[in-house]
Structure 1
Amino acid sequence: MSERYLSPPRLTRGDTVALLTPASWAEDAWIAETAQRLTDWGWRVRLGGHVRNRLGYLAGSDADRLTDLHAAIRDPEVRAIVCAMGGCGSLRLVRVLDRDALRADPKPIVGFSDITALHLLWQRAGVVSLHGAVAGNRAETVRDLLLGGTPQVIAADRTQYGAELTTGGRATGWLVGGNLEMLARSVGVTEVPMAGHVLLLEINRAAGLGMVDRALTQLIDSGTLDGVTGVALGVLEGFDGYHDRGWNVLDVLSDRLGLLGVPILAGLPLGHTPNPVTVPLGVRCELDADAGTLRCGPALR
């Protein structure tokens, strides 16, 4: 286990899991389906008091979403937090979240995309979290990690769009990262020193290639990525076939990530995909670009 991060206790049958919407709202049917799956896995599900609230694209007001998150963090009966949806809104909460309470009673949070802002908060508190979702035919990777299982070795899919960005070499370090856009937006808000870390990146086409360029440039020029030992690159959702004045996203990533001079493993089934693999953040990992694998240590003790 890492000396830098606290590994929360593993869950057992009958433990309580909080199901929250700290960012955008989720359809009632999706909340019900996720709650049922968690119940089927043997856990008691506690819905956040405002889990079905709606305010524009947000799942209720900032105060209500913060109340639900704090209630879950501070309740010793809650042993894990599952986010039903990403979207937008997590970044609004990180400056006022109770990191001391989280570190005093470490528990994992599960989510991806916009939830990257909360993952960074968990890393700032020194607590392991889970990047992924209770979704698709790989949902049980969440269950296995929460039960204290060793994460599966993740093999890159060489047919996945962007897999050709893989270089060579091996890297070790703590795995940290998430959605590129959220990592860049978090600079100056909730930054995590990334020296000695392997950077996980997943990218969805919320905008054109300029967004990817600006986000990576901000992370590089701000010094956030100084000392990163490797890059684990997940799904490049929405970019296949997209070009802008002769370049595609692979050109942008090659140009920007090449400045880091570290091994890159691309084509990983992480992020915006119907069947994402869930991986722990804040654990030691080994990235082997030659073998095409990412191997992580256990998330929970």
Structure 2
Amino acid sequence: MSTAHVLPAPVNKGDRIGIVTVSAPEPARDPGVFARGVEALRARGFEPVIAEHAVGLNGYRAASEDELLKDFHAYIADPSIAAVICAGGGKNANRLLRGLDFPLIVAHPKPIVGVSDPSVLLNAITARTHMPTFHGPSVMWDWGAGDAPAQTADHFTAVLAGEREAGRIAVPLGWAYPGTAEGHLVAGCLSSLRCLLGTPWEPNWRGAILVWEDAFKPIDVLDQALTHFRDRGVLDQIAGMVVGELVGCEPSGGRGAIEMVTDLCCEFDFPIAVGLPFGHTPLKYSLPIGAEARLDHRAEHALTITSPWTRTTPGGTS
């Protein structure tokens, strides 16, 4: 059953999109790529608006916790900003968890988009507000990449516009364990999602479809992380799993990712699909976290989002 009870308004061409940094100072370190990403958003018909500290530099973060939260909350509260998108990634977005103003977010429902490290914030927000957030392209890595596949931007714009056709994920998937499952999406970088285990912001795992990916970690490290999810009881609760395309995750002891996942999850009876391009891949599909989805190895579209993720009528509830 979907956990989404509050739906954001759709985002269309001409709308203002607020750009924030929630972790690493990537825009400050590579301003040319950041500027290219901003212009790519503009070329798609959006009006980018850059937060005060988005291009800041404060060690390994762009600014202090309070400054980054101030930027984020200002764009959430601003009625002229239709969506908020994270500039890039990092490793410390979880520093902002305790300061998130969930009542403010519910009072001003709008799409919030991130990938990699910011997925810890996305899933926490959905868990606490019951509003879908969006795992999708970042300004730096995707919009700012000169050779990014057009399909990444196409799917992002279609998903944020609420186009139902975009919920049919048109990519063939492989299967570690075939089957069918229905449940709400919990999606993100495995290492980032791990930071939510045992915290007040942990997602609702009961009946969820867990969609995860990661980058630049050997398979034994991913085994360690996924084992933590198992021992926390997460794998006892989920309805299905999708393993995304992994970037730079080299085999350990001759064992690759699918072999590891198949071995670790052999005692469970949920289906496991593999090979979804999302997260750190150049081609990525945007996923509405918290929306209901169906996983089916027999269907034309193995992964389909089945519940609305933006509102189509006045008001904020589904």
Same fold? TM cut 0.5: yes
AA at the equivalent of 1:191:
E
Distance across 2 between alignment mates of 1:12 and 1:97: 26
Report the more deviating stretch, 78-87 or 132-141: 132-141
2:161 corresponds to 1:147? yes
Aligned position for 1:173 = 183
Contact 1:18 1:45 in 2 (8 A): yes
* 1:67 aligned residue (48, 65, 70): 70
Q: Which residue of 1 aligns with 2:226?
A: 216
Displacement of 1:84 after TM fit? Answer: 1.5
Aligned partners of 1:15 and 1:44 also within 8 Å? yes
> Are 1:5 and 1:283, in contact at CA under 8 Å, matched by a contact in 2?
no
1:1-301 residue pairs with structure 2 within 5 A?
2=2, 4-26=4-26, 27-124=30-127, 125-134=129-138, 135=142, 136-137=148-149, 138-150=152-164, 151-157=166-172, 163=174, 165-189=175-199, 190-206=201-217, 208-239=218-249, 242-291=250-299, 293-297=302-306, 298-301=308-311
Quote the residue 2:316 is aligned against.
Answer: none
Verify the 8 A CA contact 1:114 1:182 in the aligned structure 2: yes
**Amino acid in the other structure paired with 1:296:** I
Amino acid aligned to 1:132: G
2:169 partner letter:
I
> What one-letter code is carried by the residue in structure 1 that aligns with 2:221?
M
Question: 2:176·2:274 contact (CA, 8 Å) conserved in 1?
Answer: yes
Contact 1:168-1:289 at 8 Å conserved across structures? yes
Distance 1:155 1:12 in 2: 22
Q: CA RMSD in A?
A: 2.0
SS at match of 2:98: helix
Amino acid at match of 1:154: I
The structure-2 alpha-carbon separation of the partners of 1:156 and 1:94, relative to structure 1 and needing over 3 Å to count, comes to: same
Q: Is the 1:83–1:111 contact (alpha carbons within 8 Å) kept by the matching residues of 2?
A: yes
Amino acid at match of 1:271: G
Q: Note the alpha carbon deviations across 1:80-112, whole angstroms, 9 max, x for none.
A: 111110122211101111011111111111111
Task: Give the conservation status (yes or no) of the 8 Å contact 1:171–1:286.
Answer: yes
1:199-224 deviation digits (Å, cap 9, x = unpaired): 11112233x33321221111121123
Number of residue pairs aligned between Structure 1 and Structure 2: 293
Is 1:154–1:268's contact at 8 Å kept on the other side of the alignment?
no
Structure 1 224/41 Cα, relative in aligned 2: closer, same or farther at 3 Å? same
- Separation (CA, whole Å) in 2 of partners of 1:102 and 1:173: 24
TM-score (norm 2): 0.85
Once the two structures are TM-superposed, the CA of residue 3 in structure 1 deviates from its matched residue by 6.0
Render the CA deviation track for 1:256-281: whole Å, top value 9, x for unaligned.
23333201111111121112121211
Q: Determine the C-alpha separation between the residues in 2 that align with 1:58 and 1:293.
A: 38
Q: For residues 11 and 244 of structure 1, what CA distance do their matches in structure 2 show?
A: 43
Q: Using the aligned pairs only, state the percent identity.
A: 31
What TM-score do you get using the length of structure 1 for normalisation? Answer: 0.90
Aligned to 2:315: none
Q: Which moved more, 1:265-274 or 1:132-141?
A: 132-141
Q: Unaligned regions of 5+ residues in structure 2, if any?
A: 143-147, 312-318
Please say if residues 162 and 310 of structure 2, whose CA atoms lie closer than 8 Å, have aligned partners that are also in contact.
yes
| Secondary structure of residue in 2 paired with 1:236 | coil
**Consecutive aligned runs of 4 or more in structure 1 exceeding 3 Å deviation:** 1-5, 155-158
- One-letter code aligned to 2:304: R
